[in-house]
């Protein structure tokens, strides 16, 4: 793919307007040949981290197999760092793949969100709460 080839979702590769295509070096906490790790600029929990692909694509499904593998290595390494530094009780891992899924930055990134005991009243359902009317399947509401 060329630097300006369309991704199939109305975006261009290596877009100069994309905040993830021009990250300042001081924000990068880890990297490999396919991506970088940064702390989220608008964290939902202490330690909220993003794994960002080097290549400007809008969808996880546009990554090559090698890129996916490299990003999973970065994800695992980021978790180890957060485990050591913050000792969370769990994690949410998510990708907002497409505008209808809530994506606001059109550059593939994976959220690693540490969760802590008591950070919300009832964490059951986790990522199912993106559609609240379908989240609570365990009670008779």
Active site residues: 109
- Which string of b and e fits 34-71 if b means at least 16 CB within 10 Å? bbbbbeeeeeebebbbbbbbbbbbbbbebbeeebeebb
- Distance between CA atoms of residues 127 and 137, nearest Å: 13
């Amino acid at each position: 793919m060329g630097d300006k080839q369309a991704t199939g979702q109305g975006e261009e590769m290596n877009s100069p307007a994309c905040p993830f295509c021009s990250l300042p070096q001081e924000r990068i906490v880890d990297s490999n040949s396919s991506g970088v790790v940064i702390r989220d600029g608008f964290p939902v929990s202490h330690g909220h981290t993003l794994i960002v692909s080097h290549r400007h694509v809008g969808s996880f499904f546009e990554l090559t197999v090698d890129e996916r593998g490299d990003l999973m290595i970065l994800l695992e390494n980021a978790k180890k760092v957060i485990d050591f530094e913050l000792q969370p009780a769990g994690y949410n891992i998510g990708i907002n793949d497409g505008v209808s899924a809530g994506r606001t930055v059109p550059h593939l990134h994976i959220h690693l969100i540490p969760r802590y005991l008591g950070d919300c009243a009832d964490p059951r359902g986790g990522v199912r709460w993106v559609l609240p009317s379908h989240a609570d399947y365990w009670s008779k509401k």
